[in-house]
Amino acid sequence: MERKKMTIPDILEAKNKGKKITMLTAYDFPLASFIDQAGIDIILVGDSLGMVVLGYENTLPVTMEEMLHHIKAVKRAIKYALLVGDMPYLSFHKSKEDAIYNAGRFIKEAGCDAVKLEYYPGVIEITKAIVQAGIPVMGHIGLTPQTAIQLGGFKVQGREAKAAQALLEAAVSFEEVGCFSIVLECVPDKVAKIITGKLKIPTIGIGAGPDCDGQVLVTHDMLGLFERFLPKFAKQYINLAPQIIEAIKKFKEEVEKGVFPDKSHSFTIPEEELKKIKY
């Protein structure tokens, strides 16, 4: 069947049809191209960029300019997937006007199809304003790394009834103001199931069990490209880091021994031309 560019109605329809949605992160042209070729529905340029690519301790330092730079590279690689850009810390907190302007830059300058906003108490009104400006929004609740300090660190959210109830209410509020989907991060599987059953829009889980409408992983975790730590919820499908280090060591060894480059990687000049060079 001929593959078509993924749209927001396709994502909504997937939930109605019971078809699981797949989402992976990308931050550059080559990985985005591989992910797109593999048929993933949504590519998220997450602010995890800050940790897995830029080497920051957490996601807080990531700037609008850094996000835009990487989203543009990803955009050039995508033919089919829906492209979602993650709004960085403080880019949607100051005022509705500022948030609309920044979200608009993701669409207008970088070519995103939608933006993602992490939950914080004032975000619902801001989300409403962005949606009313015509920009599709994906919400994000549960463990929201931008406010992890307030949440008591990087831990599972919604383990007590009151906290789970608050998550459900946040999800419903995001839906009511027009989000087209919601990421549930680090939420008990049964709480994620309740939220997924309650919402008309799809939930996309990360550490939220199998009953979400879709699943997302940070690509650098699943490919073994980020060595600092591997979250419990992340499945490593391949561990590329040792293979990459091995290949680099081999290059160093071959250069030092004069094995590389050999004739097959070199260019020639006709003998008669060579003779004409005065040196």
Interface residues with ligand KIV (CB under 6 A) are: 25, 44, 46-48, 86, 140, 183, 206, 216, 218
Cα gap 4→53, rounded to integer Å: 30
What is the closest distance, in whole angstroms, from the C-beta atom of residue 97 to ligand KIV in the complex? 24
Query: Which residues touch 25 (CB under 8 Å, ≥6 apart)?
Result: 43, 44, 45, 46, 48, 49, 216, 217, 218, 219, 220
Closest to ligand KIV by CB, 150 or 243: 150
Q: Exactly one of 13, 176, 185, 256 is catalytic; name it.
A: 185
Cα gap 224→16, rounded to integer Å: 34
Closest to ligand KIV by CB, 87 or 269: 87
**CA distances to 171, 175, 179, 219, 242 from 91, in Å:** 21, 21, 18, 24, 37
What is the closest distance, in whole angstroms, from the C-beta atom of residue 46 to ligand KIV in the complex? 2
Cα gap 253→151, rounded to integer Å: 49
What is the closest distance, in whole angstroms, from the C-beta atom of residue 178 to ligand KIV in the complex? 20
57 is written with which tokens?
Answer: 């301790």
What are the φ/ψ torsions at residue 201 (nearest 5 degrees)?
-85, 155
Cβ-closest residue to ligand KIV? 46
Beta strands at 21-25 and 214-217: parallel, antiparallel or unpaired: parallel
176 is catalytic: no
What is the closest distance, in whole angstroms, from the C-beta atom of residue 218 to ligand KIV in the complex? 5
What is the closest distance, in whole angstroms, from the C-beta atom of residue 245 to ligand KIV in the complex? 24
Closest to ligand KIV by CB, 210 or 242: 210
What are the φ/ψ torsions at residue 115 (nearest 5 degrees)?
-120, 160
3-class DSSP assignment, residue 115 = strand
- Is residue 111 within 8 A of residue 140, CB to CB? The reply is no
Closest to ligand KIV by CB, 183 or 192: 183
DSSP-assigned beta bridge partners for residue 182 = 139, 203
What is the closest distance, in whole angstroms, from the C-beta atom of residue 60 to ligand KIV in the complex? 12
Closest to ligand KIV by CB, 46 or 136: 46
**CA distances to 115, 211, 243 from 207, in Å:** 21, 11, 27
262 is written with which tokens?
Answer: 């050999």
Closest to ligand KIV by CB, 48 or 203: 48
Residues designated as active site = 185
